[in-house]
Structure 1
């Protein structure tokens, strides 16, 4: 029996901290690493309950520095977002994990950590079934933006500047230069919304029939597909809806091809989402995200490769990034 061996992969101080937040009579009987955590170490913990059943929790530990800011700040934001989204009577239409405990400053754990409930379902990154999933993703993001938190999260932070963009070798130099010039202007005024800030297929869970665990793509493309939850709220912010839409659109363009990025923007509006009022304002937000991705293409592609999309090499993703940015700059207003 390997349960104790698996549980031991959680560091001793963190393990003791988790145990303090279990119900009476519960114990940790297993732990497994979760794929896709690009900025943190993720583990699903199996908890044996007092009545002989099991339940699951998810442990997030920031073991390395992040590009998004200090881990302490990220965990405070995630804890606040989870509290907002799972509070009694919120009626947000957004299913998120429930907060169990958080140790932002690593006062008790080896690393800054957060413990939360486990949601059913899994992320689906395959091309198959995307036609069905796309409107579901769009409607879910509209629901996220409709959340009105009692305490507004901090304003979004844009780390990319015109001077930090990395124009890919062989890219459409004119299109990239024109896009970079857009960043030199002040950001357009906007009506603020509650933002996820990393809303993309890797952070959206879909239900899958138990007998189709190996065929995730076909199951998620079936007519009965539904979203079971949205995870990874560490970058939750306040800002323009356009920013979340641009982030998801860029991810879809790199995962599935540039045309899908453009289609998601349309799907969001068809679902009732509101974007910036003018074409120039919308374009500013649309290009900001792919320009930011230019600085970290390898980092973006790695979790997709680990999840089975091995054909998404850095070169392929870079080519798609160039094609998508060019399509945005060429699109009619």
Structure 2
């Protein structure tokens, strides 16, 4: 939830020459890139799936992330190194992540800062089908992430908005938004820190939803670790809740916190503390409705216009203020 322009993946084109040469140097002897495909749904980077021809005539797949927007290029060294560290940390744990292949965080060899990783099976699921089954899976996955105890903590979380920066969407209930801004104007509650994904939401979770599966959906991996932070579990819960509220309606935003606790997660002790974290995240979407809505539409949710997302955000903020502790 930081500024920047939305990448036009439709015009992203093939992998650029210097980057392609860099990728080729990371491959095993006798391997080569034989195909590229743009991956859609991401917001901040160009994402491409690379098909690698192997020595025995088979293929394998890798994923390339490249920051091309000037804002993210400026911050790429921190973001990509943070992701590289997270992938290395989580490999072999109960959290399934891509394997790190290589990183060029300062574009010393590539046209743009880039990270190369292994490909995970599964796909993101953003529609309403089987949502009731997926929400508990998301909650259990987040509890597992928060159980990670790194030897070296990542940076402390950064808030993505402030009370004075909040601008209510057009037509929003002004009294409610003023009250919400006043909540986050107060000092942040004290918390017991945990390892956070910091952008945990349906767009960064891969599912196996094959029709042949009789067991229902299952998570195959979690991606996009560039925002990894140290902070309150409530903040990760709040971010996923906000996304669910905008994708599927305010009731699902409220439901996710319940699911997290049902999965064994521990949230802040008081209702006021929990409200602070949820509003701190939700209010940040006011400036970024189109930024998040555009990739959702590209992924098939054509009804999620900017206006529709803003209306859901307004309803969700009101629901948070009205919800019992």
Give TM-score, length-normalised by structure 2. 0.94
**Is 1:16 aligned to 2:16, yes or no?**
no
CA distance in 2, matches of 1:296, 1:67: 16
CA distance in 2, matches of 1:293, 1:114: 27
- How far has the Cα of 1:69 moved from its partner? 7.0
Contact in 2 for aligned 1:132/1:223 (Cα 8 Å)? no
Q: 1:216 is matched with which residue?
A: none
**Secondary structure of residue in 2 paired with 1:294:** helix
Contact in 1 for aligned 2:73/2:112 (Cα 8 Å)? no
- How far has the Cα of 1:29 moved from its partner? 0.3
CA distance in 2, matches of 1:183, 1:23: 51
**Secondary structure of residue in 1 paired with 2:165:** coil
Contact in 2 for aligned 1:138/1:271 (Cα 8 Å)? yes
Q: 1:312 is matched with which residue?
A: 304
Q: 2:111 is matched with which residue?
A: 110
**Secondary structure of residue in 2 paired with 1:70:** helix
Over the residues paired in the alignment, what is the CA RMSD in angstroms? 1.5
CA distance in 1, matches of 2:160, 2:39: 28
Give TM-score, length-normalised by structure 1. 0.91
1:182-224 CA-to-partner distances (Å, cap 9, x unmatched) read: 1211101110111011111111000132xx5xxxxxx89x643
Q: 1:332 is matched with which residue?
A: 324
Contact in 2 for aligned 1:182/1:284 (Cα 8 Å)? yes
Gaps in structure 1 of 5+ consecutive residues: 1-7, 213-218
Structure 1, 223-232 or 14-23: larger mean CA deviation: 223-232
Work out the number of aligned pairs and report it. 313
CA distance in 2, matches of 1:94, 1:68: 28
**Secondary structure of residue in 2 paired with 1:163:** helix
Contact in 1 for aligned 2:73/2:113 (Cα 8 Å)? no
CA distance in 1, matches of 2:220, 2:232: 25
Q: 1:158 is matched with which residue?
A: 159
CA distance in 2, matches of 1:120, 1:99: 16
**Is 1:231 aligned to 2:223, yes or no?**
yes
